[in-house]
Amino acid sequence: MSADFFLKKGVSRFGYFTPMPDLIWSQEREKGFRARLCEEGVPEDAIFSLYARLNRGGIEFNRSFRKMLKNLPKPISVLAASDQDGQKLIECCSSQYIKVPEEVSVLGIDNDDLLCVSSTPPLSSISIDAEGAGFRAAGILDRMMNDPYDPELKPGIIPLEPIMIHERQSTNMDHFSDPMVVEIFDYLRANTNSAINVSDVVRAIRKSRRVVETRFKAATGETVHDAILRLKLDAVKRFLTDTSMPLQQVAEESGFSDDSYLGQIFRKKFGMTMDSYRRRYRKEYRG
């Protein structure tokens, strides 16, 4: 999820930041991040491991780390092992006069609202289904207690599945070399709550439809229509998890004509109804 998110912003250099590189969960996160980037053709030398030190006082950014951060090729997009790590990395960038997100964009994991919003700039983050993993673990424990000799019960790792990315200012920057593509994304984000289509984009950019479609697809790998739908559905998911507004209002605020049409698209894309998504991921239900 994080790799695809960065790739859609036109970034060509990436990093993974952690002060705990020896912990298995952190290693697995970096491994998955690297693997997905390599699947999309990103060369290994464009992916950087950014390891700080951890001591009793917290994360230590020594001189060598600050120098490395300063000398990194930019712009670069960095996935932090957690929101706390992301917040500290942003602070380190600020101390070195490195602009976030213009030079270094930072994405955390956990979506801890207090940490994310209190960061300067506010930290984008991935929410994870910790509760779902807990339920799965409880189910396994129940089976073990009822039948400890069940041959199907084997040691393993229960993954924390990502839910969605909550974008804030720390990643709110596109790095496409084509200024027309950047202009298109600016227009799309400014009009996410409107019923726009490709024709509206073409009129706003004042280029031919063929030029718009061809250059956009070449830069992003997706069509303008797909980008419109993706940004709108991202807004829908935020409304479902962060508000209690009725589904008809969710549709209207996301630029869809009605909630029935949106419901069909949503179910086809995510394999569940909007009500099911809200029940599963809405914050108050997650504790």
**3-class SS string, 156-192:** CCCCCCEEEEECCHHHCCCCCCCHHHHHHHHHHHHCC
Q: What is the pLDDT of residues 258-273, one digit of tens each?
A: 899 999 999 999 999 9
- Separation between Cα atoms, residue 282 and residue 287, nearest integer Å: 9
Percent of the chain with pLDDT over 70: 94
How is the chain split among helix, strand and coil, in percent rounded to 5? 55, 15, 35
Q: What is the pLDDT of residues 80-117, one digit of tens each?
A: 999 999 999 999 999 999 999 999 999 999 999 889 99
Which one is predicted more confidently, 156 or 74?
Answer: 74
- Separation between Cα atoms, residue 14 and residue 136, nearest integer Å: 33
Give me the pLDDT at residue 63, please: 86
Cα separations in angstroms, 145 against 139, 153, 154, 159, 251 = 10, 11, 14, 22, 46
Helix (H, G, I), strand (E, B), or coil: what is residue 52?
coil
Paired with 47 in beta bridges are 14
